[in-house]
Each structure stands twice: as C-alpha cells, then as structure tokens.
A and B are shown apart, each in its own frame.
Chain A
C-alpha cells in the first residue's frame, strides 16, 4: 500500500461507502463507451443492476420458475413462497404496517394509474379538486388530467420558487371544501428538490384529504417510512433502485385499498366466478390480475436485500458528498447555470450551458463516455417554470465516483471549447 492510499484510508470516515467494492458488484460499470470508461450519470432515469440481483434472477429462472398461487406442485409452491417473501421484504423496507398493503405493479406510472382508476374514478366527481405540484413528472399529472376530463374535476397546482422549492403557504391556501385528493412527488426528478412531504401530508389530513406520494426518486436514495410519513398511497419503481424493469410497488393503507375498485379483471384477482356474479379476491390480490412479473418481483426483493446490506443512510451520505463536490466544481465553470437549488436536494444536477443546446452537450459528453440525460425529463411544466426547453441532467447513485464528476466537468470544458 502506498503512503497516499494509506492517507486516503486514514481520512475515510468510519462507516463511509467503499465505492470500489460496490463498483465490483456492477458488471456493466466495466464497459467502455467510445473508448472511454463509462461514467454512468443517468441514474434518475434508470439505475444499473448488481451481480447479486442478476444472479437472483438467473437462479429463479434456472431452478424455481412456475406460475404462482395456482398449482400444488413443488415449483409452484417455491415460486409462490419467493414471490410472497419478496413482498414481506419490501413491506419491512418501507415499514408498511401490513404485508397486504404492498401491491405489485409494473412501475410508478402503473401505480399512479391504479390509484386514479381504482380510487379516483370511484370517489371523485364533478367540481372536485385534485392538488398536484409544479414539480411533478408527467406520470403524476396526466392520469389526474384524464380523471378531471372524465369527471369534470379540476386540477390545482402548487407553485414553486426560483430555487425549485414548493411554496407551502400557497399549498395550504389551495384547500377548500371541494379538495378531494393530493398527488405530490417526494423528490423532483428534474431538479432534485426533496419536498417536505410529511408536513404536506399532515396539512392535507387536517382537511380530510388523502395523499399519494410519487416516490420513484426517493426510495432508491433515502430511508422511506410510510407509517412515519402517514401517506395514504406511495408509489415507486424497481429499475431506479438497482432492480429490474417492469416491476414497481403501490403501497396503500389497507382500509383505502379495500374501498377501492379493482382496475383490471382476470385470474388471481377473484375468489369465485360465475356468469351471474364474481367475488373479488382480498387485497393486494384483487389488484394483481393475471400472471404477474414473478421474476422481477423476486428480483426486487433481492434488490431491497442488496440496498439494506449497504444501508440507505450511507448511500444518501455518499450521494450528498458527490452532489456537493459537483456543485462546487460547477462554480468554477463560466456560463453554467444550475437549475434547481433547493436547500434540501437529492443528488440530481440539472444545468444549462450558455449558448449550447443541451442535446449538443449530451452528444459531446457521450464521446467522453459520460452518460447524462438531456431534454425536459418528462417534466415540461418544470422547464416552462424556469423558461427553458431542456436541461442537461447528471444524477448520481451509490456507485458513482468523484473521478466521474471530474470526467463530467472536463467534458463540459471540452463542449465549451468546441463552441467557443
């Protein structure tokens, strides 16, 4: 060991992430792109999968697969046990009170739509109001607009300030006798703002209004406790937390899920079917019609196990360090504007470069092996709020390094040189 690395070892605080060891878990990070080592900074769009989860998927497909909740043979019993075991693990992960409050979905978008279809269509009517925020992803706007169109209900929007923080007084003032539902994001995918959802939920509950939280950008990066938040619904996706695509979760309080109508009809969501009458299954099964993505659900269970083995607090601390380092480095770049400067912010760095369109930035960074997202991030109302068509967005995760931030900054300097 050289003296320099001894020093590094010495200054590394106790409990800090060993990023080198974590990176060894992610085979894809060894890739080279355009002859340069891949710097994957597009984690808010989708994250990479560790060997532990990949291996779990392989083990399931090679030795455990059959349809669940059906047959009495050994493989079906095994698949069912693993599928339900993953549900229990996910329940504990977000501290849901009961296992039956965890509904498997295809992802966050599917979860939001399930609530819109099962709760919104059943309990909202003409003249009712739904509150969303300026910071929402399209997936937490469009379903509610569709509901408004169908029911003659009205969408109300919580505005944000120039830093990208929601204006909480305006939020409180939106409530009236017609307010029936609140749908807000926990963390803004475009700006990184962490919204104070716990107090916002308390505000809504004082008015007797239920709240759905879009947690797609929160669950991967911070400890989420749905009982502590007291949210009524909480939605998130597997693929943004190192898990598989095609699987997500809807958490819902049991008494609300029980009141809701099933969204899709089919097998597994029923107790009995005759041509005269069908009796629906209990929650969560009445929302899981048809054969679900069994492998992906079991993979999500393994993903939770992986993240827990590292610790969400340590992951959040590492991401915070990366964001602080990157934000500081950006202050030395001329003509760079960071969009979104909330005081409580996740590891998302959205920015524009004076005189250069984000897509040109993205194309040139890609040549340096740096993968960022460019565009409006499915949050056009956010872009409009800041008067820009698009941004470049770097979003960090547990496996990202300070060297990758350096590669990003060097890439930006190269863009500026090309366009000088």
Chain B
C-alpha cells in the first residue's frame, strides 16, 4: 500500500496537533497503554458522568499512527455513552485487523476509516489499536495494557 493512503492529511494533522492533549484533573477513570517493544506509551484519562464520556484526554509518546489514533479516538468518543464507545472500540479493532468490510455503511467509524490501511501492515496494527485497547481498559478500571506482540488484543467478548 501507498503511504499516501495511510499517512493521510488527517492523520498527519492529528499527529502534529493532537486534540484533547493532557490529563484530566477530575478524571473518574484512567489507564496506561504501553507497547514496550516499539515505545508507544500513552496515558488516558476520562470523566464519566451517568454512563456518558463527559470528557477525555490523553498524553504520551509514540509513532504517528498511535498518536493520531489516540487523538481521533478522543474526539470521537467524547459525548458518547459507554455502550457507544465500546461499540466503536469493537468496530475499530475489526477494521484494523481486516475483519470489517469498511464499504458496509452500517458501522459508526466515519472519519476513523482513514486507519483502514493498517490492515495491510501487520506490524503496525498494534500502534493503531493501542489507544482503543487503553480506552477499553480504562472503562473497565484496569490500569496498564499492552498490545505488543498481539494483532487482536481486545477480548472479543467485552
């Protein structure tokens, strides 16, 4: 695949200017995501209010794919219910691992489809999935997660 497909303007922009960067002082849930082998490392904090993601923030270091995926995840799940957020986690994971037909319009991914190209780059799938796995962990009050050495780390039954 061509880098113009994966490294699209929107991904490069989110990498350069990550949205919702930082730490929430009044977080109700947080988790740390880490791929020790490649150095992707993010901290995610969120504030849930009545089963809704009222606020979310992240910080950390990593490759462009990981950072852009984190940034776009925060903009996409802010304001969503926990159920909706978990639905997105599942759909993103399925897209990244090639299990989801992105031409099928029934999913809720929207602009997140720019990450569909990682399906052709098995070594980069874990970079894209890390923030989503971390979100899942935060929602379930787990503290540290890794997607290292695993292309489909999110438990199917979640």
- Chain A residues with a Cβ under 8 A of chain B: 356-360, 363-364, 367, 375-376, 389-390, 418-419
Q: Known pairs A357-B66, A364-B7, A367-B1. 11 more at Cβ < 8 A?
A: A357-B64, A359-B65, A359-B123, A359-B127, A363-B3, A363-B121, A363-B124, A367-B3, A376-B37, A418-B3, A418-B12
Are A389 and B38 CB-contacts (below 8 A) given A359-B127, A363-B3, A364-B3?
A: yes
Name the residue on A nearest B39 (C-beta).
A389
Interface centre among B6, B38, B61, B63 (most CB of A within 10 A): B63
The 7 A-B pairs at the shortest CB distance, nearest first, are namely A389-B39, A357-B63, A359-B63, A360-B64, A364-B3, A360-B63, A367-B3
Q: What is the bound-complex CA distance between A367 and B62, given in angstroms?
A: 21
Q: What is the bound-complex CA distance between A63 and B7, given in angstroms?
A: 52
Are A360 and B38 CB-contacts (below 8 A) given A418-B12, A419-B64?
A: no
Which residues of chain B come closer than 8 Å to A367, judged between CB atoms? Answer: 1-3
Shortest Cβ distance from residue A77 to the other chain B in the assembled complex, whole angstroms: 46
Name the residue on B nearest A364 (C-beta).
B3
Which residues of chain B come closer than 8 Å to A419, judged between CB atoms? Answer: 12, 15, 64
Q: What is the bound-complex CA distance between A359 and B39, given in angstroms?
A: 10
Which residues of chain B come closer than 8 Å to A359, judged between CB atoms? Answer: 38, 63, 65, 123-124, 127
Name the residue on A nearest B7 (C-beta).
A418
Q: Please provide the chain B residues from 114 to 132 with a CB less than 8 Å away from any CB of chain A in the complex.
A: 121, 123-124, 127
Q: What is the bound-complex CA distance between A365 and B55, given in angstroms?
A: 38
Are A356 and B37 CB-contacts (below 8 A) given A363-B3, A363-B124, A419-B12?
A: no
Q: Please provide the chain B residues from 1 to 58 with a CB less than 8 Å away from any CB of chain A in the complex.
A: 1-3, 6-7, 12, 15, 37-39
28 inter-chain pairs at a CB distance below 8 angstroms, sorted by A residue, are A356-B64, A357-B39, A357-B66, A358-B63, A359-B38, A359-B63, A359-B123, A359-B124, A359-B127, A360-B7, A360-B64, A360-B65, A363-B6, A363-B124, A364-B3, A364-B7, A367-B1, A367-B3, A375-B37, A375-B38, A389-B38, A389-B61, A390-B38, A418-B7, A418-B12, A419-B12, A419-B15, A419-B64
Which residues of chain A come closer than 8 Å to B124, judged between CB atoms? Answer: 359, 363
Which residues of chain A come closer than 8 Å to B127, judged between CB atoms? Answer: 359
Shortest Cβ distance from residue B21 to the other chain A in the assembled complex, whole angstroms: 16
Q: What is the bound-complex CA distance between A358 and B62, given in angstroms?
A: 10
Q: What is the bound-complex CA distance between A238 and B10, given in angstroms?
A: 45
Which residues of chain A come closer than 8 Å to B64, judged between CB atoms? Answer: 356-357, 360, 419
Which residues of chain A come closer than 8 Å to B15, judged between CB atoms? Answer: 419
Q: What is the bound-complex CA distance between A419 and B65, given in angstroms?
A: 12
Which residues of chain A come closer than 8 Å to B63, judged between CB atoms? Answer: 357-360
Q: What is the bound-complex CA distance between A419 and B64, given in angstroms?
A: 9
B63-102 interface bits toward A, Cβ cutoff 8 Å, 1 = contact, 0 = none: 1111000000000000000000000000000000000000
Which residues of chain A come closer than 8 Å to B121, judged between CB atoms? Answer: 363
Name the residue on B nearest A415 (C-beta).
B3
Which residues of chain B come closer than 8 Å to A390, judged between CB atoms? Answer: 38-39
Shortest Cβ distance from residue B121 to the other chain A in the assembled complex, whole angstroms: 6
Interface centre among A360, A390, A418 (most CB of B within 10 A): A360
Shortest Cβ distance from residue B93 to the other chain A in the assembled complex, whole angstroms: 20
Q: What is the bound-complex CA distance between A358 and B127, given in angstroms?
A: 12
Name the residue on B nearest A418 (C-beta).
B7
Which residues of chain A come closer than 8 Å to B39, judged between CB atoms? Answer: 357, 376, 389-390
Shortest Cβ distance from residue B116 to the other chain A in the assembled complex, whole angstroms: 15
Which residues of chain B come closer than 8 Å to A389, judged between CB atoms? Answer: 38-39, 61
Q: What is the bound-complex CA distance between A360 and B65, given in angstroms?
A: 8
Q: What is the bound-complex CA distance between A357 and B124, given in angstroms?
A: 12
Q: What is the bound-complex CA distance between A363 and B1, given in angstroms?
A: 10
Name the residue on B nearest A380 (C-beta).
B36
Which residues of chain B come closer than 8 Å to A356, judged between CB atoms? Answer: 64
Interface centre among A363, A375, A389 (most CB of B within 10 A): A363
Name the residue on A nearest B67 (C-beta).
A357
Q: Please provide the chain B residues from 127 to 158 with a CB less than 8 Å away from any CB of chain A in the complex.
A: 127
Which residues of chain A come closer than 8 Å to B62, judged between CB atoms? Answer: 357
Q: What is the bound-complex CA distance between A168 and B69, given in angstroms?
A: 46
Q: What is the bound-complex CA distance between A6 and B2, given in angstroms?
A: 39
Interface centre among A356, A359, A376, A389 (most CB of B within 10 A): A359
Shortest Cβ distance from residue A380 to the other chain B in the assembled complex, whole angstroms: 8
